[in-house]
Amino acid sequence: MAETKKLLRALSGETMDVPPVWLMRQAGRYLPEYKATRAEAGDFLSLCYNSDLAAEVTLQPIRRYGFDAAILFADILLLPQALGAELWFETGEGPRMSTITGAEGLKALKGKDDIHDHMAPVYETCRILSRELPKETTLIGFAGAPWTVATYMIAGRGTKDQAPAHALRQEDEATFAALIELLTEATIEYLSKQVEAGCEVVKIFDSWAGSLKGEAFDKYALEPAKRIISEMKARHPGLPCIAFPREAGDKYIGFAKATGADCVALDNSVSTEWAVENVQKDGCVQGNMAPKLMVTGGQELIDETKRIKEAFSKGPHIFNLGHGITPDADPENVTIMLEALRG
């Protein structure tokens, strides 16, 4: 039977007049209904582990906008928590974690197969969603890339330049590499269960890939992505995989071929023309629109939507932002973007 889900068609390489569309962080604080459900759950982490409410917030943007894909509501930092790290969120400041500073901290973590009891509610969210999503909507599962997750585990928080993680990499590379190895293996187990529970695509978020340069990028961003994707495809033949090595710059070139990713997600620091020439030539691309346009709106939002659609129109493309939609975005701007895109 011919594939009817637009997102899966783009991921298999089809060029479409109107590309499929979804937004990173589409379930989030810019939506009043999200804030209401989060309040009902109590806090962000309680929402992540409440399967019914996590499914509810995943569905909210689908109901409101009819996006072509829903992304599982969870967080990349649930995996280190499942491995035994402490995790909490400071209101208005973001995530805080216990820190890994050397071999001791690494040894205290659990093994790759010990995460599933902790993650059971997340898998249940996937099962609810695969029942309740409209038949034309694709369910995307996800995990953080090992490097990005490691930056939080090492620093205990988000950092501007990922300095603590770079320091560990340089001063105790054996421990650092072993942490990346554990995260790579655990990510494969975690994503496999998401797929068994109904996710149809997986995406790997490497938000801090851009701070790895040269050989370090190949070793700790490209190699783990390649391992995860090849193992996922071996276990789940035909599973489409999206990779997001954010701010990789020139390292975007050839990333899909080298890792086996079916689609590379682009941030908004690379120019669209450059991405058409250097990245889309190898297959499907996603993203590239500046998130701030969802705040500022107006004619510029309409013009940019049409410009990006047109620029990528000669090859497979999934319309999205270059990073997550922000809490100060105007929900009405999403509607304006969708009208400009779909006509």
Of 30, 123, 152, 220, catalytic: 152
By CB under 6 A, tell whether 78 contacts ligand CP3.
no
SS3 content of the chain, % helix, strand, coil (to 5): 50, 15, 35
Nearest partner of 202 among 118, 155, 259, judged by Cα? 259
Q: What is the DSSP string of 160-225?
A: SS-HHHHHHHHH-HHHHHHHHHHHHHHHHHHHHHHHHTT--EEEEEETTGGG--HHHHIIIIIHHH
> Does 26 appear as a known binding residue?
yes
By CB under 6 A, tell whether 205 contacts ligand CP3.
yes
- State in angstroms the smallest separation of the CB of 98 from ligand CP3: 16
Question: Angle at CA 232, nearest 5°, toward 15 and 241?
Answer: 25
Instruction: Give the nearer residue to ligand CP3 in terms of CB position, either 73 or 190.
Output: 73
Rounded CA gap, 175 and 186, in Å?
Answer: 16
- State in angstroms the smallest separation of the CB of 57 from ligand CP3: 8
157 noted as active-site residue: no
| Site residues (CB under 6 A) for ligand CP3, limited to 82-111 | 94-95
25 noted as active-site residue: yes
Instruction: Give the nearer residue to ligand CP3 in terms of CB position, either 144 or 146.
Output: 144
Indicate which single residue of 12, 14, 64, 75 sits in contact with ligand CP3 (rule: CB under 6 A).
Answer: 75
328 noted as active-site residue: no
Strand spans (E) along 30-155: 69-71, 87-90, 94-97, 138-144
Span interacting with ligand CP3, options 22-30, 270-278, 304-312, 313-321, rule CB under 6 A:
22-30
Residue owning tokens 């990499």: 169
By CB under 6 A, tell whether 65 contacts ligand CP3.
no
Distances (CA, A) of 34 to 28, 41, 56: 6, 11, 9
- What is the contact mask toward ligand CP3 in residues 152 to 191, using x (rule: CB under 6 A)? ------x---------------------------------
38 noted as active-site residue: yes
Rounded CA gap, 260 and 282, in Å?
Answer: 11
> Does 117 appear as a known binding residue?
no
- What count of other Cβ atoms lies within 10 Å of the Cβ of residue 10? 29
By CB under 6 A, tell whether 227 contacts ligand CP3.
no
Rounded CA gap, 84 and 186, in Å?
Answer: 12
Instruction: Give the nearer residue to ligand CP3 in terms of CB position, either 35 or 127.
Output: 35
Instruction: Give the nearer residue to ligand CP3 in terms of CB position, either 6 or 25.
Output: 25
Residue 338 corresponds to which tokens in the numbers above?
A: 């969708």
Nearest partner of 287 among 69, 62, 48, judged by Cα? 69
By CB under 6 A, tell whether 321 contacts ligand CP3.
no
By CB under 6 A, tell whether 124 contacts ligand CP3.
no
Indicate which single residue of 12, 14, 15, 44 sits in contact with ligand CP3 (rule: CB under 6 A).
Answer: 44
152 noted as active-site residue: yes
| Neighbour order of strands in the sheet with 69-71 | 69-71, 138-144, 201-206, 241-245, 263-266, 284-287, 317-318
Of 9, 30, 38, 220, catalytic: 38
Rounded CA gap, 303 and 270, in Å?
Answer: 18
Instruction: Give the nearer residue to ligand CP3 in terms of CB position, either 145 or 276.
Output: 145
284-296 burial, b for 16+ CB within 10 Å, e for fewer? bbbbbbbbbbbbe
Span interacting with ligand CP3, options 27-35, 124-132, 186-194, 272-280, rule CB under 6 A:
27-35
> Does 25 appear as a known binding residue?
yes
Residue owning tokens 């999206």: 242
Q: Which residues bind ligand CP3 (CB under 6 A)?
A: 24-29, 38, 44, 71, 73, 75-77, 94-95, 142, 144, 158, 205, 207, 324
Q: Which residues are annotated as a binding site?
A: 25-29, 75, 152, 207, 323
Q: Which residues are annotated as a binding site for substrate?
A: 25-29, 75, 152, 207, 323
Q: Which residues carry out catalysis?
A: 25, 29, 38, 75, 152
